[in-house]
Homo-oligomer: A and B are copies of this chain.
Amino acid sequence: MEIENIIKTQKMPDHARTVINVIYTAHEIENRITDAVKPYDISIPQFNVLRILKGRKGQPANLCTIQERMIARMSNTTRIIDRLIDKGLVRRKQCPQNRRKVEIFITPEGLELLDRASTAVTAVEKEITDRLTPREIEDLNTALTRLRSQKP
């Protein structure tokens, strides 16, 4: 459905319509992913942290390492980790080389839950992107990257 009909507004100029379309679509997709991970009792940021930790393949990660890999810049990684610790999905340890840092590890339970949740998320991603041809997908990614590019 056209974005104007969804938010019940009149025809908008291109700049407004496009920006609102990107934002609205992203929220819709996030809602779908939230639903997909809900059975595993985690939120999207918690899921992303687990995914980042898995990507480290056994190596621990500091808070700042996690932060710079997050999809949505979060202003408080500490509290996201707190909740993962409460659930036993992650462990925290002071870094011995540099005691300002903390090392975050994913636990076997965390890895196991992540695998199951990832399957659900991938299914959502595929269902959404399968609505476009590979060529359209490519053009969409290019356009989004251009939208983000620095002002000349």
Contacts and interface: CB of A to CB of B under 8 A. Distances in A.
Interface of A: 1-3, 7-10, 14-31, 33, 55, 68-73, 122, 124-132, 134, 136-137, 139-141, 143-149, 151
Given A23-B26, A23-B30, A24-B71, 10 more contacts: A15-B130, A16-B125, A18-B140, A21-B141, A23-B71, A25-B26, A25-B147, A27-B71, A27-B73, A31-B73
Q: Taking chain A's interface residues, is the majority helix, strand, or loop, or is none over half, making it mixed?
A: helix
Contact of A1 (B16, B21, B68, B148): B148
Given A131-B147, A147-B29, A18 B141 contact: yes
15 contacts: A15-B129, A17-B141, A18-B129, A22-B29, A22-B140, A22-B144, A25-B144, A25-B148, A26-B27, A27-B71, A28-B148, A127-B151, A128-B147, A131-B146, A132-B147
Nearest to A24: B71
A14 to B, nearest CB: 5
A50 B47 CA distance: 34
Nearest to A70: B7
